Amino acid sequence: MVKKIAIVAGEASGDQLAAHLIKSLQQRAPDIQFYGIAGPKMQAAGARSWYPMEMLSVMGYVEVLQRYRAIVRMRKELIRRLKADPPDLFIGVDAPDFNLEIERQLKRAGVTTVHYVSPSIWAWRAKRVHAIKKAVSLILCVFPFEPDLYKPHGVAARYVGYPLADFLPHTADRKPAREQLRLPADGPVVAFLPGSRESELAFHAELFIATAKRLAEQVSGVTILVPLATRKTRESFESVLHGLEAAQLPVKIMFGHAHEAMSAADVVLAASGTATLEAALLGRPMVITYKVSKLSWWLMNRKRLQPWVGLPNILAGRFVVPELLQDEATPDSLCAALVDLLHDKQKRLDIEAVFDQLYQDLRKNTTVQLQDALLPLLGESH
């Protein structure tokens, strides 16, 4: 009998993780059907999408409120459809504010529920663990310290490693990356990653472009790579670029290919999120930044449990790379931090040494880990 897995991802990073999960299970159980809310990579792997993933790709309390009614309506309809024809397994990939309520209701209806990527209960909103317990049959963790946080609460949790650590080249070689992108072998290259969501571009595009102006003035011959995940984010960034009369800057806008851009770069400027961890796995020193609305920042700051926001710093337990957030995120401060990294070779080497250990800790053959964790829930013994 063909098994059915309903799966929901809410943004580009979740789409990537979910696509890898789908391909991993298909290796040992090729007949599984996947459907739900899927991005382009999940759909390319064979998942059917009932609703557009872009509806969920927003960040910040205020930004979510602007789409609240449409998001809630979509979730109610999805839950109704899944209850009417229950899947053999439901997997929510990240997006906890959206997925945990689906998981809670489906679990009560007798569906086995899995949440892939632990919510950051170690960073903020620690009390969420009680909601997680009600919602999930199993939580799949991508960081090694996370399962121990769930044990006292009786939540089944399993560390599966971070999948990109299995596939990204360790300390990526700049030379072939620059050849692929037709960049000079020598000369400074900086990768700018302003975020994968349109809501992030609304806060970051002008900031990143103003930073690029200052960087071009201070660093002779610099090339700035800006990979953007979707057509909409690319169009948004280009619109701001032209609006600021900055089209003559040494900026190369790319459609996707973020890993290639980071591999080619000497340093990276990244909006806090998955991209910072990917840059670390590639061995690239970086500056981390982020901006949201003032109200969202106030609400989020009240619930923070750690001084760090960027994943590389959180995993290291210290400020390995600078974080310039909200009011501290100005073109002058970001440019100064990037120039400091570009000019200080020893500082870059020290950062790369920390990232080397991080790479080793997260590399756990996630494909096999996912197969071993999930196929038994379907009654598969391949």
Each residue of 305-362: pLDDT tens digit? 578 888 899 889 899 999 999 999 999 999 999 999 999 999 999 999 999 999 988 9
Instruction: Give the pLDDT of residue 131.
Output: 92
Task: Establish how many alpha carbons lie within 13 A of residue 345's alpha carbon, considering only the half-sphere containing its beta carbon.
Answer: 1
Distance between CA 268 and CA 352 in Å, rounded?
Answer: 13
Confirm if 284 and 320 have CB atoms less than 8 A apart.
Answer: no
**φ, ψ for residue 78, nearest 5 deg:** -65, -45
pLDDT at 381 over 60: no
Q: Report the pLDDT averaged over residues 251-261.
A: 91
Look up residue 160 and give its two tokens. Answer: 């599966």
User: Are domains 4-161+364-378 and 167-362 of this chain identical in fold?
Assistant: yes
Which pLDDT score is estimated for 151?
Answer: 93
CA distance 380 to 382: 6
What's the confidence (pLDDT) of residue 337?
Answer: 97
DSSP conformation class of 124: B
Least confident of 26-40, 137-151, 216-230, 299-313: 299-313
**Residue-averaged pLDDT of the chain:** 90
Spatial distance between the Cα atoms of 287 and 266, rounded to a whole number of angstroms: 12
Can you give the pLDDT at residue 58?
Answer: 58
Query: d(Cα 200, Cα 209) in Å, to the nearest integer?
Result: 14
Domain segments of the chain: what residues? Answer: 4-161+364-378, 167-362
CATH (residue range 167-362) = 3.40.50.2000
> Residue 232: its pLDDT value, please?
85
Averaged pLDDT, 86-99: 94
* Cβ-contact 48, 38 below 8 angstroms: yes
Q: Are 24 and 108 in contact (CB under 8 A)?
A: no
- The per-residue pLDDT for 76 is 95
pLDDT on residue 57: 64
Amino acid at site 284: R
Torsion angle in degrees (nearest 10) through CA of 25, 26, 31, 35: 70
Q: Which DSSP state fits 13? A: H
Taking the CA atoms of 222, 284, 44 and 99 in sequence, report the sign of the dihedral they define. Answer: negative
Residue with tokens 């790709």: 57
Q: Could you tell me the pLDDT band of residue 124, with boundaries at 50, 70 and 90?
A: low
Total Cβ atoms within 10 A of residue 208: 26
**Residue 64's pLDDT is what?**
59
* Cα–Cα distance for residue pair 68/81, rounded to 1 Å: 20
Cα(310)–Cα(145) distance, integer angstroms:
16
Residue 152: band (very low, low, confident or very high) from pLDDT cuts 50, 70, 90: very high
pLDDT for position 230: 81
Is the sign of the CA dihedral 246, 247, 248, 253 positive or negative? Answer: positive
The residue count for the chain: 382
Cβ-count burial of 131 within 10 angstroms (0-12 exposed, 13-18 middle, 19+ buried)? middle
Please, which pLDDT band fits residue 63 given cuts at 50, 70 and 90? low
- CA 171, 173, 176 angle in degrees (round to 5)? 155
HEC string of 309-371?
A: CCHHHHHHCCCCCCEEEHHHCCHHHHHHHHHHHHHCHHHHHHHHHHHHHHHHHHCCCHHHHHH
Q: How much is the pLDDT for 302?
A: 67
What average pLDDT does the segment 15-37 reach? Answer: 95
Distance CA 155, CA 147 (A): 9
Cα–Cα dist 206/304, whole Å: 27
What pLDDT does residue 303 have? 65
Phi/psi of residue 322, nearest 5 degrees: -70, 145
Band the pLDDT of 65: cuts 50, 70, 90. low
**115 and 146 Cβ atoms separated by less than 8 Å:** no
Confidence at residue 56, expressed as pLDDT on a 0 to 100 scale: 76
Give the Å distances, CA to CA, from 307 to 28, 191, 238, 318.
42, 25, 34, 9
- Specify the pLDDT at position 304: 64
DSSP element (H, E) containing 80: helix 68-84
The predicted model gives 222-247 an average pLDDT of: 88
Residue 62 has pLDDT above 60, yes or no: no
For residue range 267-316, what is the model confidence (pLDDT) as tens digits? 999 998 889 999 999 999 999 999 988 887 777 776 665 788 888 998 89
Least confident of 46-50, 101-105, 204-208: 204-208
Give, as one character, the DSSP assignment of residue 54: G
User: Which pLDDT belongs to residue 22?
Assistant: 97
Give the domain 4-161+364-378 fold: Rossmann fold (3.40.50)
87: tokens are 């899947």
